[in-house]
């Protein structure tokens, strides 16, 4: 038996499918916040009270974004076309520069 948990292609595909099944929405960056388009965010807002509705979009605060990305519930992108995904560490760096107290707020929010 190998130490690599993804040696069996079927196991890898099952794990990937399971992870993708949890994905609720994709959004793009606007200033330090993330915008989710209508139709993708209903569950996040209606059942979990994430974000603030604005016209046909849901606006997520940076603390919400990081938590939801960590949980595999959303993906974030640089552009509205959703072509260039932002790695979470890069998003955190951007937000930390714009909001110096981001980590403190995030740690409080996460608890």
pLDDT surpasses 90 at 104: yes
What pLDDT score does 24 carry?
A: 53
pTM: 0.71
Cβ atoms of 50 and 60 within 8 Å: the answer is yes
Segment 5-54, tens digit of pLDDT: 334 444 433 433 334 444 557 777 777 677 887 677 887 888 888 889 88
pLDDT band for position 2 (cuts 50, 70, 90): very low
Q: 10 Å Cβ neighbour count for 65?
A: 26
**Nearest CA to 85 among 42, 27, 5, 41?**
27
Q: From CA 16, how far away is CA 47, in angstroms rounded?
A: 25
Q: How far is CA 104 from CA 45, 54, 63, 99, in A?
A: 24, 26, 10, 10
| CB contact at 8 A, 37 and 90 | no
Nearest by Cα to 56 from 73, 35, 70, 82? 35
């Amino acid at each position: 038996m190998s130490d690599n948990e993804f040696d069996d292609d079927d196991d890898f595909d099952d794990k990937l499918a399971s992870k993708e099944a949890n994905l609720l929405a994709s959004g793009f960056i606007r200033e330090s916040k993330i915008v989710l388009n209508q139709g993708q965010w209903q569950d996040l807002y209606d059942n979990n009270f994430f974000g603030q509705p604005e016209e046909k979009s849901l606006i997520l605060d940076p603390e919400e974004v990081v938590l939801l990305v960590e949980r595999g519930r959303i993906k974030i992108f640089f552009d509205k076309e959703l072509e260039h995904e932002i790695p979470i560490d890069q998003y955190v760096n951007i937000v930390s520069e714009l909001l110096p107290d981001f980590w403190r707020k995030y740690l409080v929010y996460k608890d």
